[in-house]
Chain A
Amino acid sequence: MLRFVVRRLLWLIPTLLALSFLLFAWLRSLPGGPSSALLGDKATPERIAALDKTLGLDQPIPLQYLRFLGRIVTGDFGASLSSSQPVVSELSAAFPATIELSVAALIFAVGLGIPLGYLAARRRGGFFDNTTIIGTLVGVSVPVFFLGFMGQKIFASGLGWLPVSGRFTAGVDHTKITGFLTVDAVLTREWDVLGDSLWHLLLPALVLGTIPLAVIVRITRAAVLDVVNEDYVRTAEAKGLHARTVRGRHIMRNALLPVSTTIGLQTGLLLAGAVLTEKVFAWGGLGSLLAEGINRRDYPRLQALILVAAAVYVLVNLLVDISYAVIDPRVRVR
Chain B
Amino acid sequence: MTGLGTTKRDRLDALAATSSEGGVSLARDAFRRLRRNPVAIIGAVIVVAFLLLALLSPLIAPRDPYIRYLIDEIRPGLIPGPRSGFPLGVDQEGRDLLSRLIVGARQSLIVGVMATLIGLVFGMIIGGAAGAIGGWVDALLMRFMDVLLSIPSLLLAISIAAVFRRPNQWTVIVAVAVVSVPIFARLLRGSMLAQRGTDHVLAARALGVKQNTIVFRHMLPNSLSPVIVQATLTLAVAIIDAAALSFLGLGDQDVNRAEWGAMLGDSQRFLDVRPELAYYPALCIIVVALGFTLLGEAMREALDPKNRR
Contact = CB atoms under 8 A, between A and B. Distances in A.
A258 B240 CA distance: 27
Interface residues of B, number: 50
Contacts of B1: 8, 11
Contacts of B143: 14, 18
Contact of B297 (A31, A137, A299, A305): A137
Given A141-B240, A143-B264, A309 B152 contact: yes
Contacts of B148: 22
Instruction: Please report whether the interface of chain B is mostly helix, strand, loop or mixed according to DSSP.
Output: helix
A261 B3 CA distance: 9
Nearest to A319: B3
A141 B293 contact: yes
Contacts of B4: 15, 313-314, 317-318
A203 interface: no
Nearest to B250: A294
Contact of A143 (B7, B150, B162, B240): B240
Interface residues of A, number: 59
Nearest to A17: B147
Contacts of B240: 141, 143
Contact of A142 (B2, B271, B282): B282
B266 to A, nearest CB: 11
B151 A15 contact: no
Contacts of B73: none
Nearest to B247: A145
Contact of B3 (A138, A272, A320): A320
Contacts of A262: 7
A269 interface: yes
A142 B250 CA distance: 19
Interface stretch (B24-32, B153-161, B184-192, B223-231): B153-161
A81 to B, nearest CB: 13
A306 B144 contact: no
Instruction: Please report whether the interface of chain A is mostly helix, strand, loop or mixed according to DSSP.
Output: helix
Given A142-B286, A149-B271, A18 B248 contact: no
B6 A317 contact: yes
A18 B147 contact: yes
Given A149-B278, A318-B2, A297 B165 contact: yes
Contacts of A30: 163
Given A143-B240, A275-B154, A295-B249, A157 B272 contact: yes
Interface in A266-313: 267-269, 271-273, 275-276, 279-280, 290-291, 294-295, 297, 299, 302, 305-306, 309-310, 313
A258 B152 contact: no
A264 B152 CA distance: 12
A265 B162 CA distance: 25
A155 interface: no
Interface string B131-144: 00000000000011
A275 B248 contact: yes
B6 A261 contact: yes
A153 interface: yes
A317 B247 CA distance: 29
Interface in B265-284: 265, 267-268, 271-272, 275, 278, 282
A271 B152 contact: yes
Given A8-B3, A14-B143, A142-B286, A29 B150 contact: no
B244 interface: yes
B162 A302 contact: yes
Contacts of A264: 3, 6
Given A14-B143, A145-B265, A294-B249, A272 B7 contact: no
Interface string B205-246: 000000000000000000000000000000010001001100
A265 B7 contact: yes
Contacts of A271: 152, 155
Contact of A153 (B7, B150, B264, B271): B271
Contact of B150 (A15, A144, A279): A15
Interface in B112-153: 143-144, 146-148, 150-153
B158 A26 contact: no
B285 interface: yes
Q: Which 3 A-B pairs have the closest CB atoms?
A: A321-B3, A272-B154, A268-B152
Interface of A: 8, 11-12, 14-15, 18-19, 22, 26, 29-31, 137-138, 140-146, 149-150, 152-153, 157, 219, 258, 261-262, 264-265, 267-269, 271-273, 275-276, 279-280, 290-291, 294-295, 297, 299, 302, 305-306, 309-310, 313-314, 317-318, 320-321
Given A26-B159, A268-B153, 4 more contacts: A18-B143, A314-B150, A317-B6, A318-B2
